[in-house]
Amino acid sequence: IHDGRTKPETLQWGGLSQKVLTLETMNPNIKKVEYAVRGPIVVRAGAIRKELEQGVKKPFTEVISANIGDAHAMGQAPITFLRQVVALCVYPELLKSSDLPEDAKQRAQRILGGCGGGSIGAYSASQGVELIRNDVADYIERRDGGLKADPNDIFLCTGASDGVVAMLKLLVSGEGKNRTGAMIPIPQYPLYSATLAELDSTMVPYYLDEDNNWALDIDELQRSLDEGKKQCRPRVLCVINPGNPTGQVLSRENVADVLKFAKKNNLFVMADEVYQDNVYADGCAFHSFKKVLHDLGPEYNTSVELASFHSISKGYMGECGFRGGYMETVNLDAKVKEQLRKLVSCRLCPPVTGQAALDVVVNPPRPGEPSYEQFTSEKNAALGTLAEKAKLTAEMFNSIPGVTCNTVQGAMYSFPRISIPEKAIREAEAAGQTPDSFYAHQLLEETGICIVPGSGFGQRPGTYHFRMTILPPTDKMKSLFVLFRDFHKRFTEQYS
């Protein structure tokens, strides 16, 4: 019998019942999770794209997805050698083909030799294929000028994000004011805030210095630490270098100062270094936290605990869909390392196709091999184009009244600051939106440009920003800036 109140689909034989899983009964921490780079504006952009396909008239003919660092979706061509090796691994019959170079075949045969049953379709060890971990260790050694890396300290991951989440799971413990707090840069990549929300941990924000090209200031770290101690136990210091969404590149001295701060305050350092290949500005260079820690000498390099992360989703590769990456741990307690192995074993293993793609990145063609010239040309072209667009981005934004943008020293994004009139701020508040979300929604509806509001990454109160990738082709970037300039002028005039 239906009583008129309970929905018929919840009725069961023997009486009435409620759904087991509702918003009231679900894990409350999940409701706190927010991930702006795939948030409501991106959802609306997808809906608009479908409307355009159905013939709905708009003031524009396409949606420009400038919201996420997805290089291939933005038209960047894949690296030929990488795809050849992975194709050979996936379909070994191609080894008989004369159309593929011998060095690609040799790489594929070597990778397959490290896989169970000689097949990429087999599970790997939970920590990753041993042969590939050895190659990652060799890559790190070359990168850091001969500094040894232990394959047993390397964990292959489903993209760097997988490693970040696993490490935070290990680090979060305690209750109340003894609950682990993690110091996170603001602006930050929202993976960090989302994961901490899911783990019911405390985010301890420290602000990057926008007036100094988003520099990381040690005095600000100290302020943040002191503030954090009032509500939790800060145990983790997260650094993103090169920066996402801010695009800054830390100097060697800055990295050293951060490591000294971590030792002084007994903090575990998590170094997000997925953009280490993406450094563009003159005078800037990537310095790994591991190498700088080693150079600080035994007082530091035997005691500071560090986890660093890298990915094939960025760099010159842009292979987001393969979900390949690694985490290297330094000075991790041996018993904790066993717990980490146990934790990663719960997901069996990272995708082996992603591991194979990672192996090509860390073990690329060498001089004299058939694919070396083409590989080097494609790599340099990809990074050179990104460097041009990084420079173009700052120049174009800074030419628009009411918009300022720091130099994009590295990574794949700009994080411009925008002036929003008071009238627009009031209308946004009345609509239940942040002012930068209000701005981004109108930009999307009027121009088709999809960006991410700065509030999704964090920003100093009273300032408004957005993140935009530098990945669209150069000609599309130039047309995008014309659309953006005209919109910003209209928006400002409308709400002044």
Q: Taking the domains of the chain in order of start, what are their residue ranges?
A: 30-75+376-495, 123-362
Per-residue model confidence (pLDDT) at position 331: 95
Q: Tell me the two tokens of residue 373.
A: 């010239």
Task: Give per-residue pLDDT as tens, 467-477.
Answer: 999 888 888 88
Rounded mean pLDDT, 267-282: 94
Q: Which fold has domain 123-362?
A: Aspartate Aminotransferase; domain 2 (3.40.640)
- pLDDT tens for each residue of 187-225: 988 888 888 888 888 899 999 999 999 999 999 999 999
Kindly calculate the radius of gyration of the chain based on its CA atoms and give it in whole angstroms.
24
What proportion of the chain, given as a percentage, has pLDDT over 90?
63
Q: What distance lies between CA 419 and its chain's CA centroid?
A: 27
What's the pLDDT band for 422 if we cut at 50, 70, 90?
A: very high
> Torsion over CA of 466, 467, 470 and 471, rounded to 10 degrees?
-120
List Cβ neighbours of 92 (8 Å cut-off, separation of 6 or more).
Answer: 108, 112
| Over residues 355-361, mean pLDDT | 95
Provide the 8-state DSSP code for 303: T
pLDDT value for 7: 53
Looking only at the bridges linking them, the beta strands covering 233-240 and 268-272 are parallel
What is the predicted pLDDT for the residue at 276? 95
Distance of CA 381 to the CA centre of its chain: 22
In contact, 433 and 376? CB cutoff 8 Å: no
Place of tokens 């590939």: 132
Chain center to CA of 229: 28
- Give this prediction's pTM: 0.88
Q: Which two tokens stand for residue 264?
A: 């002084």
Q: Give, as one character, the DSSP assignment of residue 78.
A: P
pLDDT band, very low/low/confident/very high, at 1 (cuts 50, 70, 90): very low
Of residues 27 and 414, more confidence is placed in 414
User: Does residue 391 surpass a pLDDT of 50?
Assistant: yes
Residues 466 and 415 sit within 8 Å (Cβ to Cβ) = yes
> Which two structure tokens, joined as six digits, stand for 343?
């934790």
In this predicted structure, what is the pLDDT of residue 22? 77
Q: What is the pLDDT of residues 83-106, one digit of tens each?
A: 999 999 999 999 999 999 999 999
Residue type, 88: L
pLDDT of residue 205: 93
N- to C-terminal Cα separation, the chain: 60
Query: Largest Cα–Cα distance in the chain?
Result: 80
Distance CA 458, CA 68 (A): 17
Distance separating alpha carbons of residues 304 and 123, to the nearest angstrom: 34
Given a contact cutoff of 8 angstroms between Cβ atoms, the answer to whether 417 and 404 are in contact is yes
Average pLDDT of the chain? Answer: 90
Which residues are 326's β-sheet partners?
Answer: 156, 310
Q: Please, what's the b/e burial string for 188-214 (b: 16 or more CB within 10 A of its CB; e: otherwise)?
A: bbbbbbbbbbbbebbbbbbbbebeebb
Report d(CA 284, CA 387) in Å as an integer. 12
| Look-up of token digits 């979706």 | 73
The answer to whether residue 51 scores a pLDDT higher than 80 is: yes
Task: Kindly indicate the confidence band of residue 11, based on its pLDDT and cuts at 50, 70 and 90.
Answer: very low
> What is the 8-class DSSP label of residue 269?
E
What CATH class does 30-75+376-495 carry?
alpha beta
- b or e along 40-73 (b: 16 or more beta carbons within 10 Å of the residue's beta carbon)? ebbebbeebeeebeeeeeeeeeebbbbbbbbbee
Q: Is the pLDDT of residue 10 over 50?
A: no
Taking Cα atoms as reference points, which of 314, 328, 326, 193 lies closest to residue 247? 314
Mean pLDDT of 301-320: 93
Which tens digit of pLDDT belongs to each residue from 454-466?
Answer: 888 888 888 999 9
Please give the DSSP secondary-structure letter assigned to residue 140: H
**pLDDT, tens digit, 9 for 90 and up, residues 54-70:** 888 888 888 888 887 78
**Per-residue pLDDT, 61:** 86
**pLDDT greater than 70 at residue 360:** yes
- Region of 402 on the Ramachandran plot (φ > 0 left; ψ -120 to 50 alpha; else beta): left
Average pLDDT on 295-319 reads 93
